[in-house]
Structure 1
Amino acid sequence: MITNELSSFSVRPEPKTIPLTQATLLSRIRESRITDRTPVKKLKPVVMVGQSTFARRGDFSVITGQRKAGKTTVLQFVVATALLEEIPLELDTLQIRAEYCRGNDVVYVDTEGSKEDTQDFIKGVKSLIGSSEQPAHLHTYHWREFTAKECREGMDILFTEHPNAHLWIIDGIADLVNKPNDEEESNQTVRWIMSMAGKLDTCVVLVIHENPTKAGQEAKLRGHLGSELERKASGAIGIEKDRQKGEHYIKSRFLRKSADFDPIAFRFDPQTNRPVHRILTASERAQLQDKNRIRIGELMNLRSRCFLNTASKAERELKDSIKLYQNATTGKDAERALCNRNLAALLKYNLIREEQTAEGYVYHLIDTEGAAIEFKIGQSNE
């Protein structure tokens, strides 16, 4: 057992019978140990929305939305503000501000649009920063014709080509996997992105589509990949469009190390075709946030039922409880999919905490500060 090898590692030389790969793992395990006195580098904010931190150095964040919602516009402001040391007073950034790149590379990879779309993205950035030429440290790539394998291998090459990049944008991440619903492939891809962001000490922003939803339903990111991205990301924002009003909204889905920002509204000026920010009224902000309030209320009720008389549950036990108390569905596959969405939402809204143990995942009730709730006999969780 690794545990036995590890416990004896400090009292005798490494046995020659241990394979090199296992010896390397044991060494890495020892190096990974963290105490309350271990010097830990804090992840610095890179992209702010309003006064809130959306993306950090050494981690990845997610931008999502349905087709034509306005994701490209938001990305242009992220890139443009990263290229500007000072923001001109006349430039309306939609409350988006990226840390200045200081001459380090900013890399944009487009896996979805046409070559014309990618070039239009560059032109939009140039217009925002007031430049007639593409900055030398803005590197843009068009990979629409690449296979998923080529996209993944291409990113490994780019990470080597731009080791000191300030900011990465992959638009969209789903093209780096063969099947966004493949659990193993999706998990491996997310772990790889997390690893590269940490190793390169850089900020990675990923773009993924939302599945179409009915009115009042919570938007769900595409496939298992989307669920895993949202669970592991430093932050996630959603872009929505009200087609009747011709207005777009930037909304906080969740921010791991910051308070949510109020929804931001913008529309395109018909004269200049430039996005213009509009201040929302209090009632408009409340209306836009109602869907989240309703959803969180539903989840809190589900949590109370699932954790009745206990503060912790193993994964299988919790999933059985969720299936018992969630809204009825038709068919085993639909029931399982809804259960997975509800579990992901409980984690997303910080209503429970996930812990990986030797026996598998365990889920705990947590308070508003993220600490586990201590349960006492006779106490109710409602």
Structure 2
Amino acid sequence: MNKEDILQATDRGLSVFRHYLPVPFRIGKKFLNPLYKDTKASCNVYYDRRHSVYKMKDFGNEEYSGDCFELVGTMTGLSCRNAKDFVEIMRIIDHDLHLGLADGYENCVDTSSVQVVCPPTPEQVIKKIRPYNIVPRAFNETDRIFWSKSRITEHTLNKYNVRPLHSFSSVNQEGKSYTLTETAQEPMYGYVGDKYIKIYRPRSEMRFLYAGDLGDNYCFGLDQLSAKGDLLFITGGEKDVMSLAANGFHAICFNSETTVIPTSVLMLLSYRFKHIVLLYDMDKTGLEVSAKRQEELKPFALKRLLQPLSGTKEEKDVTDYFALGHTHDDLLKLFLNHLDSLYKEDMSALKSCELDFNNPPPVAQMIVSVNDVPLGTQGNLLCITGGEGTGKSNYVAALIAGAVKPENAEGIDTLGVSIEGNPKGKAVLFYDTEQSEVQLYKNVSTLLRRCGRDTMPEWFKAYCLTGMSRKERLKSIVLSMDKFHYQYGGIHLVVIDGIADLIRCANDEAESIAVVEELYRLAGIYNTCIVTVLHFIPNGLKLRGHLGSELQRKAAAILSIEKDTKPAVSVVKALKVRDGSPLDVPLMQFAWDKEKAMHAYLGEKPKEEKDRRKEEELVAVARELFSRKRFIGYMELSEELQTAFEVKERTAKSYIRFMREKEIIVKSPDSPNSYMLGEV
């Protein structure tokens, strides 16, 4: 095979341009070069009479100017000036156009007397589309044996419109008619499309022939893909596509491995499949082209899977891979190993977060609790919320007093909650973002008096952050927590009075998520409880704003402080507790005690008040649920209550019993398995 052989077999190179340029160009007419983002039609293919070859001239990009060999060299990164590269260029053209020159094949048998049934149309004459006629036959046992070696069944062949043929008629490069007839030694199959056919003769010197109009973006297997999937292989040929399909994979191929993959097709497929993987041959061309395509199509994040094959003629593609005895699971394992190598760094980070069931983590210590119900534990957030003047700052000061109390102190009034002591002298940190330094001093003086101390212990730090910008406040909290963690051997409790003042806007979703995630991360790193005060008026069982919504998801517990019917009394109620139901937590009361010059605990509200609150909350939720639909089934109602109150199924079912007893809901007369809103 030499240069002249290829020129003679390709109409002096014109067929090569037709093959690699996926646009219906006309000789001498300017067109947009489809091989790059061409914006001006300044490219044309013309006949060079001096050298008797077709050439391309691209005034927009001189790299694409030259004969057919220079075009293929530019597309594959090879040089026509290098003898070794030029031989490879000729081999690629022979392979992609199925010329058969490397195997010594000369021409098809000339049978000019055969009448071609499909006459060429004017459009076909311009495109030089070859008309054709086929005579199909039935599948026989020989066909089944041949295809079964690749695990391809008759069902798969029918699915992909592959037909066994008795004969095929078309015209050659010179326009002469010919007919090929199958024999027992040389079977023939057709990949049948709407306007084209691709002939496959597995035992012949010229294995592939084309006729008809393949279109600009020929893609075999595209019509057979499912609407959505996880894994899609782009492979080298039609037989590989069917081998993959027969083994349970999605696959497609283009006209050849060296064909430029249309980005329009990739764009469509990237929405339908999670992973698109190049699975090309393991020979020199396949390895080089797959690497080049992966680099060219970086925006689509194509993956490139290499098979454990030698790359020889008998062992180079995925069909050979399955023929060697490999299975679906083997190829899937190969892909999973490839993912492991890609995700190694991220998976290493995730590995440290994996739960080891045989080595349980240490139980998080309760820092803040009420009646043995945990509210604030190590590694979690506790949120205190309420309206203006409800006593939030005094309440968190009482929590701090319990954390800094002397080791043997007894009878400390912590306004109804239990605070774990700090005998090891770990850091207790108090950050106030809202009140003045004078007010902070008064609050700290009161909390020290509450716990029986005259001075602040060294490990208790209080900061007034009102003079800092919002960005500096969070940075200062992060840095100081790190410093004091090492200085005092850990952090016992952190209180941030005014979390909303750490960001510009509490309704900014991105800022809200970021600050809550950062505080949650710090609580985990330093194994401490971070108490945050949110100066919002709560709306029922949900907090308002994006900051409130994010705290609702992340905080282990949320306590709301509201004014009672007696304005001087503040009531603490739980909006959320991670272990249990907020409606089962007692309502705690505190008020200003003039003699003690501080707020004092008044005890729990009577059980009647607790039940009344429970009923009011359930009525409010029921009205909201039944405003959307008139009837709700038992299981759906249970799920809605679990979501509304963030409780488990058992607690939600107890609420349904309570709602039925109080006639908040009643059985539907039309549907015994559904409920409707009662007379509330």
- Cα 1:87–1:258 shift into 2, 3 Å: farther
Which amino acid in the other structure matches residue 129 of structure 1?
Answer: C
Deviates more, 1:292-301 or 1:173-182: 292-301
Match of 2:427 in 1: 105
Match of 1:76 in 2: 397
User: What do residues 229-280 of structure 1 show as CA deviations (whole Å, max 9, x unaligned)?
Assistant: 0121100101111374411111111110245421011221233333232243
In 1, Cα distance between the equivalents of 2:500 and 2:333? Answer: 42
Q: Is this contact kept in 2: 1:59–1:197, CA < 8 A? A: yes
* Among 186, 201, 206, the residue aligned to 2:527: 201
Alignment map for 1:1-382 (pairs within 5 Å): 11=337, 15=341, 18=342, 23-34=344-355, 36-37=357-358, 39-84=360-405, 85-89=407-411, 91-102=412-423, 103-163=425-485, 164-211=490-537, 218=540, 221-242=543-564, 244-259=566-581, 260-279=584-603, 280-298=605-623, 301=626, 347-350=643-646, 367-368=649-650, 382=675
In 2, Cα distance between the equivalents of 1:370 and 1:58? Answer: 27
- Cα 1:367–1:140 shift into 2, 3 Å: same
- Cα 1:58–1:307 shift into 2, 3 Å: farther
Which amino acid in the other structure matches residue 392 of structure 2?
Answer: K
Match of 2:296 in 1: none
- Cα 1:193–1:110 shift into 2, 3 Å: same
- Cα 1:145–1:380 shift into 2, 3 Å: farther
In 1, Cα distance between the equivalents of 2:495 and 2:432? Answer: 8
User: What do residues 270-318 of structure 1 show as CA deviations (whole Å, max 9, x unaligned)?
Assistant: 3333323224333333344444232333355468779869969xxxxxx
User: What do residues 163-189 of structure 1 show as CA deviations (whole Å, max 9, x unaligned)?
Assistant: 211100111111111111111221122
User: What do residues 201-233 of structure 1 show as CA deviations (whole Å, max 9, x unaligned)?
Assistant: 11111110123x7xxx62653420111101211
Match of 1:337 in 2: none
> What is the TM-score with the length of structure 2 in the denominator?
0.43
Corresponding residue SS for 2:500 = helix
Q: Is this contact kept in 1: 2:541–2:575, CA < 8 A? A: no
In 1, Cα distance between the equivalents of 2:426 and 2:644? Answer: 33
Superposed displacement of residue 379, structure 1: 11
Q: Is this contact kept in 1: 2:428–2:461, CA < 8 A? A: yes
Which amino acid in the other structure matches residue 276 of structure 1?
Answer: A
Deviates more, 1:44-53 or 1:144-153: 44-53
- Cα 1:310–1:368 shift into 2, 3 Å: closer
Which amino acid in the other structure matches residue 461 of structure 2?
Answer: H
Superposed displacement of residue 41, structure 1: 3.2
User: What do residues 71-101 of structure 1 show as CA deviations (whole Å, max 9, x unaligned)?
Assistant: 1121122111112234423x43322221112
Q: Is this contact kept in 2: 1:108–1:170, CA < 8 A? A: yes
Corresponding residue SS for 1:151 = helix
Match of 1:322 in 2: none
> What is the TM-score with the length of structure 1 in the denominator?
0.73
- Cα 1:97–1:380 shift into 2, 3 Å: same
In 2, Cα distance between the equivalents of 1:2 and 1:369? Answer: 43
Q: Is this contact kept in 2: 1:235–1:254, CA < 8 A? A: yes
Bigger radius of gyration:
2
Say what the alpha-carbon RMSD is for the aligned residues.
3.5
- Cα 1:3–1:101 shift into 2, 3 Å: farther
In 1, Cα distance between the equivalents of 2:592 and 2:410? Answer: 20
Corresponding residue SS for 1:32 = coil
Gaps of 5+ in 1: 313-342, 352-365, 372-377
Match of 2:30 in 1: none
